[in-house]
Structure 1
């Protein structure tokens, strides 16, 4: 499962506000705010929805033995 920090970084890579992500993912902006701040973890299905929305625009979420991150895939 992705982290709030990964979500924030992914939004920055695609230059989306919390509101834009909320609209595109069909979730409340408050959910994103609380998740990114570490105040609350959304339901797994909500996190999956956020993740798939960002993956659809080229974000790849990375998990390695050294840590977690995100990257924006180049368009062919």
Structure 2
């Protein structure tokens, strides 16, 4: 699940207001605001809806992996993915990154 600061960060990354997130998710704006400010945590189904809506808007949630912590980033667009795929073998075939 996500917490308030992560929801706020995801919303900032995908550049949507609380009002827009509220209308897209059918969750009241004040519920989102209270959650992001750490005043109240909604139930699990509301959290799941917020997460799904933010993912549909382009956020990718990174799970907590011990010391690294949870995070959020933007989803790569199709054009960025295509450009990255072109660059992968630029300069010859890629090889293992293992260092002897």
TM-score (norm 1): 0.94
The structure with more strand, counted as a fraction of residues:
1
How far is 1:57 from its partner? 2.0
SS at match of 1:41: coil
Structure 1: gaps spanning 5 or more residues: none
Structure 2: gaps spanning 5 or more residues: 79-100
Q: How far apart, in 1, do the equivalents of 2:32 and 2:57 lie?
A: 18
Other-structure match for 1:50: 50
SS at match of 1:12: helix
Larger Rg: 2
Post-superposition, which runs of at least 4 consecutive aligned residues in structure 1 deviate over 3 A?
A: none
TM-score (norm 2): 0.73
SS at match of 1:38: coil
2:33 is the counterpart of 1:29: no
The Cα RMSD (Å) is 0.8
